A and B are shown apart, each in its own frame.
Chain A
Amino acid sequence: MAIGDLRGLFAEQSLSFLAEIPYIYHCHHYNLFHDQTIDDALGEDEGARIRTAAAHNAFRDLLSAVYERSGATTPVERIALASELFQWMGQGKLHLDVGAGGGRARSASLHYGYAWREKYGARVKRVEPADAVAAGFAAAATELAFGLPSDAIAVTERKCVATRDAECEFDLTPAMGHPPLPPVDEMAVRRYVVPPVRGVDEDRIVAISQGLVEFMSGVQGDERGLIAAFNVFVTAHLPGYYNETIYETVHRAERTAPSSVPAIEALMQQAGQACVFFTFGNVLLSPEWEGLVGPPTGVSSDVISFCTSIARGLGFGHWLVNEYEPRKRLVLQCTSNYEVPFYRSRYGLAKKPRSYFIQGAAQAMMVLAEVVKWKERPQLSNDYYVDLFRAKPRYRVEQTKCLMRGDSISEYVVDAM
C-alpha cells in the first residue's frame, strides 16, 4: 500500500489525515522557532525531554494506525514502512538499526538538524542536538516494530548535524513503559468542529484551496527525505507534536512561573507570523501558485483571500474571512483548526483563548496584505522578515472567541494601531 493511499480529507473543514491521524504542513522557519520557544521556556534539557516525548507519542499514534491499515505485522515490514513514512513526510531519511532491546539510528539529513544548520549555522554555534522529532519517531518505531509497550524505549541523540557532526546519531535503550493516552484521531477531531460557515470571497477561496490540496498531494520527501518547496523546507507534520509541546509548556509555566506566560504566548504568536510570512508568502510568489491562480495582483483583499486559501490547503482547518477593511481591520474566524481537538480531548475546556498560532498568523496576514509590495516580487528573506516584524507594530490582534473555551467559533480580530 502506498503511503499516499492512507491520506484522508475532511474536505468541508479543510483537515487532512494519514490513516485517520491528523496531519498538516509546516515549514522549517515555523518548526525551528517553535522548538526554540519550548527550549527558551523550559531550558534545553527539559525542552528536549518534552519535545522528544511529544514526538514519541504523536508518532506512536500515527505508526500504530498506519500498521493496522497497511497490514504490516513483522518487525522488518514495520521498520521499513516507518522509515518510508518518515521520508515521505519530509522529516528526513533515518536508518534504524534496532531490536527489541533498542539499538541505534542515524541520518545525514533530518529536517530539523539540516534546516537549523542552513538557517542559523553560520551565526550561532549550537551545542545541543536539534532532532527531538526524529528521536521520538525512532523510539516509537522501535517499540511498535517489536510489540513493546509505550515508552519502553528511551532515546538520546548523541551526534547532530546542527552541532556540526557529519551525521545525526541516536542511541535507543530499554526504559520503563507506561500505558499510552488515547490518540486524537479523526473521530476525536470530528467531535470538536462546528458546522462550516461561508466567509467573504468564499467561492474563490474554496476553489483555490482545492487546487492547493491537489498540488500538495503530490508533495513528498526527496532522496534525502527532505521536501524543498516554495523556497522553504516543508514537512508533513503531526498536530499532536505541536499541541503537546505548546500546551504542556504553557500549562507548566502557568503552574510554576506565571509571569513568564505572556512571553511564551507572544513567542508562539511569532511562530505563527513566521509561518505566514515564509510559507504563505513564498507560496504566493511560486510558479506553482501563478499556474494555479495567476501572478500577484498587489490587491490587499486578494492577499487576505489567498492566505485563507493557503491555510485551508495546508490542512490548518476551515479559516474564513468574516470582515476585512483594508489598512484597518481583519476579522478571521475558524470553525475548525488543528489545535482545538487536541486541547479539548486532553485538557477539556480552556479558561482563555489559546490559539496562539492563528493569532500570530492573522496578524501576519494583515502585514502581508498591507505592507509587502507583491507586484515587485520581493525576496522573502530572513532580513526582510526581521525588518518587517521588528519595526513598531502596525497591527494588534485579539482572539475574541475560542472553540477551546467552548465558544461557538474561534475569532481573531486584527486592528490597526
Chain B
Amino acid sequence: MDRYLEQAVTEVPQLIGIFVTAMPDALLFSSWVREGTSWSAEDVASYFGDLVRANRQGLKALGSWSSEMQVTIESAESLVVLRELSTDFVCGCVFERTAPLGMVRLHLKRLLERVNQALPRVQAEDRPRGLRIMEFLDRYAPDPHAVTLRVSLRSGISIDELKAPGNLSADQIRRLEETACKILGVNQLSL
C-alpha cells in the first residue's frame, strides 16, 4: 500500500504528508511523509483518527452526519484535510499552508480516488475491548510509562492479566473502563 501512496503523491508538490488510518481504532494503516519533515505519520495519525471519531459522534448528535464528511483545519504552518474513505478507513492529507485551496481540492479529489482504489475491502476486525482500552490509555493517559501499574492498582486487575488485555473477563473490562475514565477525567471512552 505504501508503494501506491508514493506513486499517488508524485504529482502533488505542495503535499507534506498523507496517512491512512484504520477505524475504529485509529491505527496507522499506510503513510507517506515528505523527506525532511520533522513529524512522523505514526506520531500524528491516531490523533486525527480520534478527531474524526469525535466529529462523527458530534455530527450524529446534531443529526447531520454523512459518510461524505470532511474536516479541514487551517493552521499557521499547514492545511490539514481529513476525509472518511469508508467506514473502515480515514485519510489525512497535510499540505503546505501556502497551497491555494482550489488546488488543494483538485489534488485531493484525484489523490483520494487513487488511494481508495488501492485500499483493501476489509471486514473490520472486532478487536477485544480490553485491548482497545489499554491502547487508548497508552495513547492519552498522563504518565503513560506508569499507566499499567496505575490501572492495576485502581482496578484490582493484576499486572500479568493486564499484559493480555484481550483475555479479560466482562467484569474486568468494566472495571478497566471505569479506571480508564477516572485516569483520563472523562465520563466515557470514545472507542
- What is the interface of chain A, defined by CB distance below 8 A to chain B? 33, 36-37, 40-41, 43, 119-120, 123-127, 257, 259-260, 262-264, 266-267, 270, 385-386, 389-390
Contact = CB atoms under 8 A, between A and B. Distances in A.
B152 A33 contact: no
B107 to A, nearest CB: 33
A267 B149 contact: yes
B143 A386 contact: yes
Contact of A126 (B143, B145, B152, B185): B185
A390 B152 contact: no
13 contacts: A33-B146, A40-B153, A41-B153, A43-B154, A120-B142, A124-B142, A125-B185, A127-B185, A257-B156, A263-B149, A264-B153, A270-B149, A385-B145
Interface of B: 140, 142-146, 149-150, 152-154, 156, 158-159, 183-186
Given A40-B150, A127-B185, A389 B145 contact: yes
B185 A124 contact: yes
B144 A124 contact: no
Nearest to A125: B185
A36 B146 CA distance: 11
Which residue of B142, B146, B149, B184 has the most chain A CB atoms within 10 A of its CB atom?
B146
A262 B159 CA distance: 10
A41 B150 CA distance: 8
B144 A390 contact: yes
The 9 closest A-B pairs by CB, nearest first: A125-B185, A390-B145, A124-B185, A40-B153, A389-B145, A263-B149, A263-B152, A263-B153, A120-B142
A281 to B, nearest CB: 16
Contacts of B152: 260, 263
A33 B184 contact: no
Contacts of A43: 154
Contact of A267 (B142, B150, B183, B184): B150
A363 to B, nearest CB: 13
Contacts of B143: 33, 36, 386
Contacts, number: 48
Contacts of B186: 125
B156 A260 contact: yes
A386 B153 contact: no
Contacts of B150: 36, 40, 267
Which of B144, B150, B186 lies at the interface centre, i.e. has the most chain A CB atoms within 10 A of its CB?
A: B150
Contacts of A385: 145
Contacts of B145: 270, 385-386, 389-390
A390 to B, nearest CB: 4
Nearest to B147: A390
B183 to A, nearest CB: 8
A120 B159 CA distance: 25
Contacts of B183: 124
A127 B184 CA distance: 11
A139 B51 CA distance: 45
Nearest to A44: B182
Given A260-B156, A267-B150, A386-B145, 19 more contacts: A33-B143, A41-B153, A124-B185, A125-B185, A125-B186, A126-B185, A127-B185, A260-B152, A262-B159, A263-B153, A263-B159, A264-B153, A267-B149, A267-B153, A270-B145, A386-B144, A389-B145, A390-B144, A390-B145
B142 A270 contact: no
A83 to B, nearest CB: 31
B153 A260 contact: yes
A259 B37 CA distance: 47
B131 to A, nearest CB: 18
A389 B148 CA distance: 13
Contacts of A125: 185-186
B142 A123 contact: yes
- Between A120, A263, A390, the greatest number of chain B beta carbons within 10 A of the residue's beta carbon is seen for A263
A66 B158 CA distance: 46
Contacts of B144: 386, 390
B159 to A, nearest CB: 7
Contacts of B140: 123
A260 B152 CA distance: 8
Nearest to B183: A124
Contact of B146 (A41, A119, A124, A267): A267
Q: Which of A36, A119, A126, A257: most chain B CB closer than 10 A?
A: A36
Contacts of B184: 124
A257 B150 CA distance: 15
Nearest to A388: B145
B161 to A, nearest CB: 11
A259 B161 CA distance: 13
A259 B185 contact: no
Contacts of A270: 145-146, 149
A125 B184 CA distance: 7
B3 to A, nearest CB: 30
Contacts of A41: 153
Contacts of B159: 262-263
Contacts of A259: 158
Contacts of B185: 124-127
B47 to A, nearest CB: 12
Nearest to B140: A123
A36 B153 CA distance: 11
Nearest to B182: A44
A266 B149 contact: yes
Nearest to B149: A263
Contacts of B153: 37, 40-41, 260, 263-264, 267
